[in-house]
Amino acid sequence: MIDHTLITILEKVSDPEIPVLSIMDMGVVRSAQWKENKVEVSITPTYSGCPAMDVLAEDIKAAFNEKGIISEVKLVLAPAWTTDWITARGRKALEDYGIAAPLDAEADKEALLGNKKIIKCPQCGSTETKMISQFGSTACKALFQCETCQEPFDYFKCLK
Amino acid sequence: MNKENLIQYIYSIADNSLILGQRMSELCGHGPSLETDIACTNMALDLLGQTRSYYQYVATLLGEGKTEDDVAYLRTEREYKNVLLVEQPNTHFGYVIARQFFYDTFHLLLLEKLQFSTDETLAAIAKKGIKEVSYHKRFSSDWIKRLGDGTAESHQKIQEAITDLWAYTGELFDMLPEDQEAVEAGIGVDVTTLKEKYQEQIKNVLDEATLSVPELQWFQRGGKQGIHSEHMGFLLADLQYMQRTYPNMKW
Ligand SMILES: [Zn+2]
């Protein structure tokens, strides 16, 4: 449960590696509740080794601190995060930032195996794109290149 | 099951991730191409992340203010329970890929079972890991095929690595007394039941890669009991250097 009075503060915190994406749109905040005179927040990691998680916890505490609120941040592993938890607004923010948003699991598999050209270039919108590497600039992304405009770009891999 | 044995059981899984992750991270800035460099270090990061979750759990079991860093940095060689396979050096890219492929295939089979553990923490770590390890396995299997079915030289080099490292795969299916205890408690996985599926999956990929599965009667073992190969000391010296030289130093 996320206490709705806390949402505006949480929305100001963004993923340190994708600054346009708030942690609310990312879907990593699992709960945020008042416990007596402090706030308890639970977040879930995107990938196990995501180095952004430690920074995120600090950023959340700092955001509450700014409002004079003391908070505690806990990491929860279950249920595991999935890209389905990225909101529609989050997906739009990714695309605007130049990162192709994740497809559903089936389409993702086809695209990463190179069976189908369905990943849209965030620069020109062409689907004439090819995978360069399953692993991109961070663990959550694959590297693609657009064959129409030649631009390389990141694709946010589906995680389910 | 008693706490000490549970900790030992967790080490036998977690230490594989730590040591393989350490080996892969050695490629940072040294991969054969930019894409493979990034891929290998991303996999190292996944493995290290999984290790942290396991070690944080161990630290809570140990109590007395112990942290994940004590577990990672302050054990002696004999206290690490990883299999010999994962500590083998990055002799050449063929070895990196063969080692990864042999471990990924096992790792995924293991986690697919471990996600049903009655231990909630282990089940959660496994469930999260499955998603990541599926990517690793896809990466290493693709490279096995690419190198095996590539040029004469790449074929020869990957076959060399496969033949050498195969001797280290037998140990993956050994059961120690604490493993047995973990299985009986519903916490652990009976790895002997994974063997057949493992060999079948390895054979399928190697067949497609035009490579042959070595025929061996005798396998190397010892890592699970803490008896490691000569490479382990050097690896740990690198891994533990900071904490050993400057105890309790913080980044
Ligand atoms: Zn384009």
Q: Do A134 and B124 touch (CB under 8 A)?
A: no
Query: Measured between CB atoms, does B53 come within 8 Å of chain A?
Result: yes
- Angle among Cα B168, B172, B175 to the nearest 5 degrees reads 130
Query: Measured between CB atoms, does B55 come within 8 Å of chain A?
Result: no
Closest to A80 measured CA to CA, from B50, B22, B140: B50
What pLDDT shows up at residue A116? 82
Decide if B40 contacts B47 (C-beta within 8 A): no
Decide if A151 contacts A99 (C-beta within 8 A): no
Core vs surface per residue B166-205: b (16+ CB within 10 A) or e: bbbbbbbbbbeebbebbbebebbbebeebeeebeebbeeb
For B86-112, how does the pLDDT look when each residue is reduced to its tens digit (9 = 90+)?
999 999 999 999 999 999 999 999 999
Q: Does domain B3-245 have CATH number 1.20.1260.10?
A: yes
What pLDDT shows up at residue B131? 86
What pLDDT shows up at residue A137? 78
- Say whether pLDDT at A159 is over 90: no
What pLDDT shows up at residue B205? 97
What number is the average pLDDT over the span B72-93? 97
Q: What residue ranges define each of the domains in chain A, with the CATH number in brackets? A: 4-81 (3.30.300.130), 88-156 (no CATH)
End-to-end alpha carbon distance in chain B: 36
What number is the average pLDDT over the span A94-107? 90
Q: Tell me the percentage of chain A whose pLDDT exceeds 70.
A: 100
What pLDDT shows up at residue A53? 84
For B18-35, how does the pLDDT look when each residue is reduced to its tens digit (9 = 90+)?
999 999 999 999 998 988
- Crossing angle for the helix pair B177-184 and B3-25, to the nearest 10 degrees: 110
d(CA B72, CA B89): 20
Q: Which residue has the tokens 């067949």?
A: B207
What number is the average pLDDT over the span A74-92? 91
- Say whether pLDDT at B70 is over 80: yes
Q: Do B38 and A135 touch (CB under 8 A)?
A: yes
What pLDDT shows up at residue B230? 97
What pLDDT shows up at residue B150? 95
Window 41-100 of A: residues touching B by CB (8 A cutoff) are 45, 47-51, 77-80
Decide if A31 contacts A42 (C-beta within 8 A): yes
Give residue A128's pLDDT band: very low, low, confident or very high (50, 70, 90). Answer: very high
- Say whether pLDDT at A18 is over 90: no
Whether ipTM exceeds 0.85: no
Report how far Cα A36 is from the mean position of its chain's Cα atoms.
31
Q: Do A133 and B39 touch (CB under 8 A)?
A: yes
What pLDDT shows up at residue B201? 98
Least confident of A107-121, A123-137, B22-36, B166-180: A107-121
Decide if A131 contacts A114 (C-beta within 8 A): yes
d(CA B105, CA B11): 19
| More reliable by pLDDT, A78 or A48 | A78
- Say whether pLDDT at B55 is over 90: yes
Query: Measured between CB atoms, does A114 come within 8 Å of chain B?
Result: no
Ligand 1 centre distance from Cα of residue B50 (Å): 36
Q: Which residue has the tokens 């497809």?
A: A103
Q: Chain A partners of B104 at a C-beta cutoff of 8 Å? A: none
Q: What is the DSSP string of B170-197?
A: GGGG---HHHHHHHHTTSS--GGGGHHH
For B154-207, how does the pLDDT look when each residue is reduced to its tens digit (9 = 90+)?
999 999 999 999 999 999 999 999 999 999 999 999 999 999 999 999 999 999
